[in-house]
Amino acid sequence: MQIRTLLAGTALAALLAGCAAGPTDQAVAPEMEATTATYQGTLPCRNCDGIDLNVTLNGEEQGAIDERTFDLEASYRGHPQSPPDENYTGNWEVLQGTEQDSSATVYELTPDGEGQTYYFLRVDQQTLELIDPNLRRFQNSEMLQLKRL
């Protein structure tokens, strides 16, 4: 809701600034740019020093599903087998409620093709937390959080 208010305020300010400049030869409609939010963090890893996770969500919660896309990149630090980075793209859905909080917002990231579906609880506007497929938080939940850039 705050993002939509911010975007509407920005569009209004741009419109008013255009009016203050006086008439022009062409009428140009203000364009709204797609919303993009990037979150990063390092998740714990049993066999390595950590998994660097980078998640970029494109689109708005209220937008059409085909306009809500994501990119997820995972890199393993200090893994003995040096696996390649994992990169997934796909669409994300908005789910309402978890076992502990019926009003919680959860993002379900479903990759195109192969790959597991990821579930992130929106803790606040700046924080996403990886949760299990049953929409439950893990015991070490603070270690599973990504921060918005």
pLDDT of amino acid 34? 58
In the structure, what pLDDT confidence band is assigned to residue 143 with cuts at 50, 70 and 90? very high
Place of tokens 């696996």: 83
Are 88 and 111 in contact by the 8 Å Cβ rule? The answer is yes
pLDDT of amino acid 117? 97
Are 124 and 145 in contact by the 8 Å Cβ rule? The answer is no
pLDDT at 29 over 90: no
Burial of 123 (0-12, 13-18, 19+ CB in 10 A): middle
Percent of the chain at pLDDT > 70 equals 77
Q: Taking the CA atoms of 72, 116, 120 and 85 in sequence, report the sign of the dihedral they define.
A: negative
> pLDDT by residue (tens digit) across 57-114?
999 999 999 999 999 999 999 999 999 999 999 999 999 999 889 999 999 999 999 8
Place of tokens 């379900």: 108
pTM beyond 0.85, yes or no: no
Domain annotation for the chain: domains and CATH numbers:
36-148 (2.40.128.640)
Are 129 and 120 in contact by the 8 Å Cβ rule? The answer is yes
Task: Name every residue whose Cβ is closer than 8 Å to that of residue 87 and which is 6 or more positions away in sequence.
Answer: 71, 72, 73, 74
In the chain, DSSP assigns E strands to 36-43, 50-58, 69-77, 86-96, 105-111, 118-124, 127-131, 145-148
Of residues 133, 124, 128, 126, the one with CA closest to residue 144: 128
Amino acid at 42: T
